[in-house]
Chains A and B, each alone.
Chain A
């Protein structure tokens, strides 16, 4: 190594695990060449959440358009690519299948290798698009479907050290938003409301066992519901801003404290946040301040790389490609796919 310059790698990423149809081209696993996301949020709003059948129908309408746009923005042709990476799971199975079958057909027609990527590996590798990942590393993955602490001793090595035992953090946000009659998607609204409030309702922090890195948010959600009911029964007006801040304070404090304890115990060189809820301003601020005090580098990708996108899938796919990972034409959607290491 060193005498020759490594060939540039261009990987096309495709993502359709929930309600975004996305395609992106990434160079060498670290540089975004193009990044296209077609969001369906407007279409699902009237239902108060993502309807899987509707999501799948939209993906079919969008999938070739977003891939074409990703190639056009990159000013590239299929033959300029080295491989196609696609989200294999977890996610909504009908939605996953659109990205997967488009990826397979595209790879087959153009004679390109195909790589199935775990969605959460993608979220973690969104960070590789911003700065090199340094190991050992700790990742806090927070989204509508996930709340996990993942320890990585090297590229492609994932060790789950903690996870939610009930609701994911993002799920708790959405449910509390519904209690407060806030339109879907509620997470960003609660975050904004929490910022507008100086006062907070005091809700419990759920720590579980002393040495556990697991999370639980369903009790907190119930506490919010109970608070609202009690207040209503006693004819007291509920201030939604105070509730939002109280709820967010509890979530952020527990996430931050457990991440800090894990970072110390595993003596990591880098802490990263990933997933849709890492776009939350309250959480970002708390983690940034905590790890600045601790002297451990902390990173969180810009907002558009926190939410679902295909650049993160292409980034993770590039590292898998270099590790020799390949999928075949029989790839299926895997809604409950587990995050397993590709480097043992």
Chain B
């Protein structure tokens, strides 16, 4: 079983090919290169280096968001087009769960954080004691609101993700010694991790690929305003 994994949900780029539970080639970068410039060349390099052909892969895993709207769309568009034309199943994995999985050996609660600007975050918290079960649902939160939820858990929380540093002072101020910072080696999404998570899921029908869409976890601004207006009337 050969998997191709792609995640461009946020500024890092992660791609990998995994064959029968072994990483064959993997690339990760956090160099703020536009994903439209970087993603397909990175995928092309994977196939060149492994001397594999696109048709040889059996399934595709993709980071489905949340995160940068444009970033998520680039990864999802590439993944769904490859899956559709190669007639392979496509599995989407939450980009927050993907980060949390990096710290899965930690015994307790993990919170992955992605900057959503203006003191807002995309975040999710997971408990590792029974696999990665969700304790704070993936979503778009104000930093303040998220930290209150985490404080209420009244347990140590390990924070993972390269955006955590942006909020670390506020996190410490709220959670004190319950705040645990993951080592930086766990901060970037890994496409082999993505494939590992995807391979635990049942493979969806090939036809389902057409209706595969990003999980934005947030309405477009114009839509949110429109709904507000309708309610006001």
Contacts and interface: CB of A to CB of B under 8 A. Distances in A.
Interface of A: 46-47, 51, 53-54, 56-57, 60-61, 63-65, 67-68, 78, 93-94, 97-98, 100-102, 104-106, 108-110, 328-333
Interface residues of B, number: 36
20 contacts: A46-B226, A47-B226, A54-B222, A63-B81, A64-B84, A93-B70, A97-B36, A97-B70, A105-B78, A105-B79, A105-B81, A105-B85, A108-B40, A108-B43, A109-B85, A110-B85, A328-B41, A329-B44, A330-B37, A330-B38
Contacts of B223: 51, 54
Contact of A98 (B54, B77, B79): B77
A332 B220 contact: no
A56 B70 contact: yes
Contacts of B40: 101, 104-105, 108, 329-330
B83 to A, nearest CB: 9
Nearest to A44: B222
Question: Secondary structure of the A side of the interface?
Answer: helix
Interface string B41-75: 10110000000001100000000000001100110
Looking at B43, B216, B220, B226, the one whose CB has the most chain A CB atoms below 10 A away is B220
A103 to B, nearest CB: 8
Contacts of A54: 220, 222-223
A109 B220 contact: no
B78 A104 contact: yes
Given A63-B80, A332-B36, 15 more contacts: A46-B226, A54-B223, A57-B216, A60-B73, A60-B77, A60-B213, A60-B214, A67-B85, A93-B70, A98-B73, A98-B77, A102-B77, A104-B40, A105-B78, A109-B85
B77 A53 contact: no
A63 B36 contact: no
A57 B78 contact: no
- What are the 10 A-B residue pairs with the smallest beta carbon separation, nearest first? A105-B81, A329-B40, A53-B220, A51-B222, A101-B77, A64-B84, A102-B81, A109-B54, A105-B78, A104-B40
Given A68-B210, A100-B36, A329-B44, A94 B78 contact: no
A61 B85 CA distance: 16
B220 A51 contact: yes
A267 B39 CA distance: 48
A254 to B, nearest CB: 34
B86 interface: yes
B7 to A, nearest CB: 14
Contact of B213 (A61, A68, A101, A105): A61
Nearest to B38: A330
A256 B49 CA distance: 58
A284 to B, nearest CB: 34
Contacts of A333: 36
B18 to A, nearest CB: 18
A63 B73 CA distance: 12
Contacts of B220: 51, 53-54, 57
Nearest to A104: B40
A78 B74 contact: no
B34 interface: yes
B209 interface: yes
A105 B69 contact: no
B182 to A, nearest CB: 31
B85 A106 contact: yes
B76 interface: yes
A331 B36 contact: yes
A61 B80 CA distance: 10
A198 to B, nearest CB: 39
A101 B78 contact: yes
Contacts of B38: 330
Contacts of A51: 220, 222-223
Given A97-B36, A102-B77, A108 B84 contact: no
